[in-house]
Amino acid sequence: MPTDSGTHAAPPLVELENVAKTYAVRQGSIRRSADSVHAVAGVSLSIGANEAVGIVGESGCGKSTLARMVLRLLNPSAGNLRFKGTEYGEMSRAEVQEFRSTVQAVFQDPYSSLNPRMRVADIISEPLRSTPGMTRKARRSRALEMLDSVGMPALAADGYPHQFSGGQRQRIAIARALVSEPALIILDEPTASLDVSIRAQILNLFNKLRQEFGVSYLAISHDLSMIRHLCDRVSVMYLGRIVEESSNEHFYENPLHPYARGLLGSLLMPLAEGQAPQDPMPGEPPSAVNIQPGCSFHPRCDSAFVLCSSDTPELAFRLGCEADQVTACHLYEKAEVQPTELGGRKQ
Amino acid sequence: MSTPLLDVRDLKTVFGTDSNPVAAVDGVSFSVDSGQSLGIIGESGSGKSVTAFSILRLLSSPGRVVSGSIRFEGEDVLALSPREMSRLRGRKLSMILQDPMASLNPVFRVGYQIEEAIRFAADGEKISRAQARERSEQLLRMVRIPEPSIRARQYPHQMSGGMRQRVVSAIALAGNPRLLIADEPTTSLDVTTQLQFLDLVSELRASLGFALIFISHDLGVIERVCDRVAVMYAGRLVESGPVAEVFRDPAHPYTRGLLQSAPDISKRVPVLDSIKGQPPDPRTWPAGCRFAARCPDQMDVCLQAYPDVTVVAAGSTSTVREVACWLHPEVATGTHAD
């Protein structure tokens, strides 16, 4: 479980504290900064060892920006990110090295994330090239091991990416992420480009790898059914903010925030016997330019009332929340007592 | 029985060279009645998009239809000259493709692009600028784009994905099509916008009365918009019938597998059901049933010969259920058909 830093000996793998990312919108011939986009507006999150955290939300909610900051591919505009207790900006060279082998990523599109001119074995073993004292032969045998653990035949090692289907390529990308024995893998929409039958195979693979290697996942997705079967905790993002956070069970069984309910209601499931089709949630995923005051969801919200357009609700334990749940909605009155399970979350 | 709006018989579309052909679609037959909506479901590589592109005659070389027939309103589509074909497309026969950004021209305002389609659909008839503008705003309003006069002056990049796909639909509907072919139009959309878009398509179909072929790999999407579903696997149709019946009681093991691998969110399970293995390689289709290698109900006969399409529940074009599986052989002799 996530714990407040300091109360336990081992800090979480990755910890985010009020992380924000703002982009300037430039306009006109002199490119003056006309506006700013608050892609991520103050997110706190922690991922512990052998824990799977899911972030769900529509496109443009900032979830991929968040993932890129966690991966150190982007610098935050504000807030702190820590890796095993060390600030991202204060890592030594050795720590950065350690970070890079500890935190890996699997991206959405296995067509563009694999170099078409490299053989599969070389793709998989490339992260090991910076490991001192590792021979070519040793790297190759590691690559073969990885192929085996993702359920691909050893024969695949000498093929090129174009010879494989989307599901197979995604397995190759997963093998590459696993080869440096990471503790955390960032999954950015890892099943979005896959077919239904293959998607189930890949999800099973993620769960199997978690049991075998004890890796943690930070899964970014709008696919709520994937998150259901993969993650222990779920955070719902809307316009750069987390609007609800809870355990897997309580997110799916007791969603509170109207946006969380809307997202779950938009999910199309076959064989909903006798179930009346849901009405779609109104409105478009909004743009993060010119965010209106108040709750960012209120223009789309059926239950919005006066307070919603003036006052931003904070993410907090509220009446109606389960012990491991926090939500940011005025419909639920803030409760006095902070549950212990959340360990004094800051926000 | 009246002739269906679209009738596809034994369609075979191949890629590759003459000496080494690869049959992406290998003997597919189905028909769509006026106003009906047919969902074609299948995994990537099953031939569902190639089927659509064959009907539209938009296959790019080396893809070509080598046998079979495609009749649209009784007319042989494959016999039309390229000129006649392009008169059909964008008018009676229209399409929406997967990626709206690729369907729209980034350097023209969306209003101009809709007007272009309106002028094309008018077939040489003179349309004034004001008329075209009015009609394009009307189309934008029809696909529920708020403030159409402002939106028409915007470029595609200024719109969200859902909005762009609605612009593409407005263009597709400019010619009052009788048949709209939508190839995975919601794949690039969010779940929330997807649902809005699907309901919009259903409403437009109800009000304008066009028939729809909706291609998707998502069972839930097909269920939401279609009356009938055809399941494709490895270049063949393995099952077809009314959506509700097929999903409730699938006759083909592949359909059953698909339904089982759609994750259920009502509870968390450690291991999801999945169909084992991979679809076969189109360069070397197996001799027997193409699903046999992955099939839990595999029998000897499955490996030897491809099962014929048999009627499991007789009915009209909208109610008939057909399946191609050796588990349903009793009607193969034709005794069951009425």
pLDDT tens for each residue of B161-206: 888 999 999 999 999 999 999 999 988 888 888 999 999 999 999 9
Q: Is A158 on the interface with B (CB under 8 A)?
A: no
B274 CB neighbours in chain A (<8 A) are 197-198, 200-201, 204
Find out whether B46 and B235 touch, Cβ atoms under 8 Å: yes
User: To the nearest whole percent, how much of chain B has pLDDT over 90?
Assistant: 68
Q: What is the pLDDT of residue B329?
A: 73
Closest CA of chain A from B26, distance in Å: 20
10 Å CB burial of residue B157 (0-12, 13-18, 19+) is exposed
> Strands, DSSP E only, in chain A?
14-27, 32-47, 52-56, 78-83, 86-87, 103-106, 184-188, 216-221, 233-238, 241-247, 326-327
pTM: 0.85
Domain assignment present for residue A333? The answer is yes
Residue of A nearest to B223 (CA): A270
Cβ of A269 within 8 Å of Cβ of B220? The answer is yes
Q: Kindly state whether residue A9 falls inside one of the protein's structural domains.
A: no
Compute chain A's Rg from CA coordinates. 21
Note the pLDDT of residue B61.
85
Is A2 among the domain residues? no
Whether residue A8 lies inside any domain: the answer is no
B185 half-sphere exposure, CB direction, 13 A CA radius? 32
Which residues of chain B lie closer than 8 angstroms to A229, CB-CB? 263, 268-269, 272
CA torsion through residues B226, B229, B233, B234, sign: negative
| Cα–Cα distance for residue pair A88/A83, rounded to 1 Å | 6
Angstrom distance (rounded) from CA B181 to CA B184: 10
B282 vs A contacts (CB less than 8 Å): none
Provide, rounded to the nearest whole percent, the portion of chain A with pLDDT above 70. 91
Among the residue ranges A24-28, A252-256, B46-50, B276-280, the one predicted with the least confidence is A24-28
Question: C-alpha angle A100/A62/A206, rounded to 5°?
Answer: 50
**Residue B337 predicted with pLDDT over 50:** no
- The CB-side HSE value for A8 (13 A sphere, CA atoms) comes to 12
Q: Sign (positive/negative) of CA torsion B98, B100, B165, B32?
A: negative
Structural contact between residues B95 and B183, judged by C-beta atoms closer than 8 angstroms: yes
CA dihedral B47, B50, B55, B60 (to 10 degrees): -160
| Closest chain A CA to residue B259 | A270
Question: How far is B215 from B336, CA to CA, in rounded Å?
Answer: 30
Count of CB pairs separated by less than 8 Å, A with B: 125
| Cβ within 8 Å, pair A271-B43 | no
The residue type at A76: P
CB count within 10 Å of CB A307 equals 13
Q: Which residues of A256-288 are buried (b: 16+ CB within 10 A; e: fewer)?
A: bbbbbebbbbbbbbbeeeeeeeeebbeebbbeb
| In contact, B72 and B88? CB cutoff 8 Å | yes
Residue B305's pLDDT is: 92
- Nearest partner of B296 among B279, B276, B269, judged by Cα: B276
Is A7 a member of any domain? Answer: no
What DSSP character marks residue A92? -
* 8 Å CB contact of A228 and B268: yes
| pLDDT at A228 exceeding the cut of 50 | yes
User: What's residue B101's pLDDT?
Assistant: 86
Q: Which residue of B has its CA nearest to A167?
A: B278
The b-or-e profile of B186-202 (16+ CB within 10 A means b, else e) is: bbbbbbbbbbbbbbbbe
Question: What are the Cα distances from residue A223, in Å, to A167, A226, A264, B263?
Answer: 17, 6, 10, 10
User: Is residue A332 in some structural domain?
Assistant: yes
Whether the ipTM is more than 0.85: the answer is no
Mutate to test the interface with A, among B189, B201, B248, B261 (most CBs of A within 10 A): B261
Residues of A in contact with B218 (CB under 8 A): 196, 268
Cis peptide before A339 (omega within 30 of 0): no
Work out how many domains chain A is built from and give that number.
Answer: 1
**Could you count the other beta carbons within 10 Å of the beta carbon of residue A71?**
18
List the single residue in B with minimal CA-CA distance to A201.
B274
Q: Measured at the alpha carbon of residue A11, what is the angle toward residues A5 and A12, in degrees to the nearest 5?
A: 105
Q: Residue A141 domain-assigned?
A: yes
Is residue A272 in some structural domain? no
pLDDT at A272: 55
For each of the domains in chain B, give its residue range(s) and CATH number, in order of start: 6-106+178-323 (3.40.50.300)
Which is nearest to A103 in space by CA: A187, A16, A193? A187
pLDDT 10s digits, B268-327: 888 888 888 888 888 888 989 999 999 999 999 999 999 989 998 888 888 999 999 999
- Measured between beta carbons, the chain A residues lying within 8 angstroms of B194 are 266, 268
CATH number of domain containing A320: 3.40.50.300
Is A168 at the interface with chain B, CB within 8 A?
Answer: yes
Amino acid letter at B228? R
Q: How confident is the model at residue B251 (pLDDT cuts 50, 70, 90)?
A: very high
Which domain covers residue A337, as residue numbers? 14-267+285-342
